[in-house]
């Protein structure tokens, strides 16, 4: 039995019937891989064989009575692999839009709490002969970095590889009793003295941030109040997604030509795509949209027991700048200044230990039920999240099938009904957009704008020489 950290538990407390807290990945697999002999049964059998390598796949969340404390992870005595891997047939004609609709349906369906919080769907019948794997994990059990760790056990560097797996001797421990859960809560209460230290640290950080802001020229400051975009409203449970593949080499060529980071190019491309979208809908604000950018804190954090070790930065997306090169340069300077104001991830993780579970649950449900985001600007300091996840730089195989694409999709929140993500994949960069369908019915426009934005920046980069 292992108690969830305060930060990991927030993804459970923030969940409502419309605000799902799981992440989804779409992996495209090639059944024509040399030596592969795909069948759904053989795929499921190999997953079963590797279960000892991913023990978290057989653990579920147990809630503390009356939500008096954070839940715990413990074995699921009734674990059944059949509840977690399913076979689907893509609707005719089996194209990109049909596949996107299946991903959106998975993203819009809540996960059962009485089982381990993961699901796989194998999609057959695609028009190009490929197989799609839709993977769904609750954010309380995984972030981008921990997802990479799990991928190590479920993927191989060579086709047909069958790594050695220890014998499956798993015998589930009995489910924890209510008294055991309550006692675990009492033992896990954070010391009050640490709270005073956190309060003092908060004062120092806020003061330092205010001083840095006052020293920054007004034109270079990121507004503390983001303009409202069409998706900055109350969300429904229905999701919509779009995705596109681009050449990572072109992104790196742009990066090198202008002396910026890959993440700066990602933000500039997303900013340009959003500008096109908003201009088409006569909804382009005068001020720039602002993004929340997750930062991988696994290397910087000392809290090794925490699954989600993510910090965040705020970055302007330059949607108020028409020229793509000026936008990129502006974003690069913007993110550099944001990094200087970055708050260490352990500071956020330590504060999360004091979050009151019941208050978080009640407030989140009130906001959702009353559709508060339609009445007030809940987008606050940001309009959306933009994530750039480093992937892999060699061919990768899942149970003998080569991965040809891997599209990431995160979760959308009340007042922020859109998320954009990019993942590098063996020389490609795969982009995924997910949003509330009621607020973004034509999300395909965003994915279609990505290669156009890259083409403009690439032409400018090559023109420098």
Residues 72 and 63 sit within 8 Å (Cβ to Cβ): no
Question: H or E element: which one contains 424?
Answer: strand 418-425
Q: How far, in Å, are 15, 277, 283, 313 from residue 234 at the CA level? A: 14, 20, 18, 23
The full set of domains in the chain, from first to last, is 2-164+174-187 (3.30.559.10), 224-392+409-463 (3.30.559.30)
- Tell which phi-psi region holds residue 291, choosing left (phi > 0), alpha (psi between -120 and 50) or beta: beta
pTM over cut 0.85:
yes
**Considering only CA atoms, which of 271, 359, 347 is closest in space to residue 309?**
347
**For residues 99 and 38, is the Cβ–Cβ distance under 8 A?**
no
Helix (H, G, I), strand (E, B) or coil at 73: strand
Q: Are 278 and 320 in contact (CB under 8 A)?
A: no
- In this prediction, residues 399-415 reach a mean pLDDT of 94
> Please, what is the average pLDDT of the chain?
87
Residue 454 or 153, more confident: 454
**Rounded Cα–Cα distance for residues 173 and 77 (Å):** 7
Interval 324-336 mean pLDDT: 92
* pLDDT tens per residue across span 264-323: 999 999 999 999 999 999 999 999 999 988 876 444 444 444 444 466 788 899 999 999
Handedness of CA 271, 273, 279, 281 (dihedral sign): negative
- In angstroms, the Cα distances linking 222 to 218, 326, 382 are 9, 16, 10
Residues marked active site are found at 139
Sign of CA dihedral 69, 75, 76, 82: positive
Question: Which pair of tokens denotes residue 354?
Answer: 């004091």
Q: Across the strands, what pairs with 434?
A: 241, 419
How does pLDDT run across 124-134, given as a tens digit for each residue? 999 999 999 99
Q: What are phi and psi of 371, to 5 degrees?
A: 50, 50
Both tokens assigned to 102: 């299946």
Q: What is the pLDDT of residue 146?
A: 65
């Amino acid at each position: 039995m292992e108690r969830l950290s305060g930060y990991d538990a927030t993804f459970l407390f923030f969940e409502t019937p419309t605000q799902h807290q799981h992440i989804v990945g779409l992996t495209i697999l090639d059944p024509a891989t040399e030596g592969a002999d795909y069948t759904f049964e053989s795929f499921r059998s190999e997953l079963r064989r590797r279960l000892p390598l991913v023990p978290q796949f057989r653990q579920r969340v147990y809630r503390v009575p009356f939500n008096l404390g954070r839940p715990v992870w413990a074995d699921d005595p009734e674990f059944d692999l059949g509840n977690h891997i399913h076979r689907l047939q893509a609707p005719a004609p089996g194209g990109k839009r049909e596949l996107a609709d299946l991903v959106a349906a998975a993203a819009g369906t809540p996960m059962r709490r009485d089982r381990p919080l993961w699901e796989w769907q194998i999609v057959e019948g695609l028009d190009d002969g490929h197989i799609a794997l839709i993977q769904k994990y609750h954010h309380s059990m995984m972030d981008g970095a921990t997802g990479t760790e799990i991928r190590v056990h479920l993927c191989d560097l060579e086709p047909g590889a069958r790594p050695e797996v220890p014998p499956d001797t798993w015998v589930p421990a009995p489910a924890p009793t209510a008294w055991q859960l309550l006692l675990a809560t009492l033992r896990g209460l954070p010391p009050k003295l640490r709270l005073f230290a956190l309060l003092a640290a908060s004062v120092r950080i806020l003061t330092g941030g205010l001083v840095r802001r006052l020293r920054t020229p007004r034109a270079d400051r990121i507004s503390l109040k983001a303009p409202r975009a069409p998706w900055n409203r109350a969300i429904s449970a229905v999701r919509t997604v779009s995705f596109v593949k681009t050449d990572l080499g072109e992104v790196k060529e742009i990066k090198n030509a202008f002396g910026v980071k890959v993440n700066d190019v990602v933000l500039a491309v997303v900013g340009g795509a959003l500008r096109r979208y908003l201009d088409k809908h006569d909804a382009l604000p005068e001020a720039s949209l602002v993004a929340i950018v997750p930062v991988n804190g696994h290397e910087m954090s000392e809290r090794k027991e925490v699954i989600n070790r993510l910090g965040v930065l705020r970055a302007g997306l330059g949607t108020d700048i028409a020229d793509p090169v000026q936008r990129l340069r502006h974003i690069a300077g913007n993110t550099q200044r944001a990094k200087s104001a970055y708050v260490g991830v352990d500071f956020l993780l330590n504060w999360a230990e004091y979050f009151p579970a019941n208050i978080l649950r009640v407030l989140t449900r009130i906001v959702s039920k009353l559709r508060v985001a339609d009445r007030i600007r809940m987008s606050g300091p940001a309009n959306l999240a933009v994530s750039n996840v480093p992937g892999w730089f060699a061919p990768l195989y899942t149970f003998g099938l080569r991965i040809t694409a891997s599209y990431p999709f995160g979760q959308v929140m009340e007042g922020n009904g859109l998320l954009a993500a990019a993942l590098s994949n063996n020389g490609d960069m795969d982009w995924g957009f997910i949003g509330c369908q009621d607020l973004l019915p034509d999300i395909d426009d965003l994915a279609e704008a990505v290669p156009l934005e890259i083409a403009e920046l690439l032409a400018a980069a090559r023109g420098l020489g």
